Structure 1
Amino acid sequence: MLDQRNSTSSKPRDSKVWRKIWGLNVAPKIRNFLWKASKNINPTGENLVRRHHGRVSICQRCREEVETMEHILFFCPFAQATWKVSSFNYSPRKEGFTSFLQWWIQVFNTFVEAGSFSAIGLASYLCWHIWKPRNSFLFEGQSDDPTQVWNLALQEFLEFTGAIAEHASHGSEWRGWVAAVCRDHNGNIVDGCSCIVFANSVDVAEALAVKMACNIAWHRDWNNIIVESNNKALVERLINPNQNSRWDAQAVEASIRSIICNLSQVSCAYVHRSANVVADWVEKKLEPKLALLIGCATLHLSWKGFL
Structure 2
Amino acid sequence: MDHILRVCPRAREVWSLSKVDIQPAIPFKAWFKNKISDQSSKSHTPCNAIFIFTAWNIWLRRNAWVFSKTNVTSDVLIKKSTWAATEWFFTQNQPKVGKAPKTTTWKPPPLNHHKVNTDASFYANTKQATLSGVCRDHNAEWVEGFKMSTATNNAMEAEIYAILLALNWIKRKNWKETILSSDCLRAVLTILQDKVLNDISSEMITSCRELLQDLRGVKLVFEGRGSNKLADSVAKQAKGLSDGFNIFCTLSSPPPLMCNEIFLADKQNLITSISEGASEGALDEGHFVSELHGDVVL
Which TM class, normalised by the smaller chain length?
Answer: 0.3 to 0.5
Question: How high is the TM-score relative to the length of structure 1?
Answer: 0.35
Question: How high is the TM-score relative to the length of structure 2?
Answer: 0.36
Structure in which a larger fraction of residues adopt helix: 1
Structure in which a larger fraction of residues adopt strand: 2
Larger radius of gyration: 2
Higher relative contact order at CA 8 Å, sep ≥6: structure 1 or structure 2?
Answer: 2
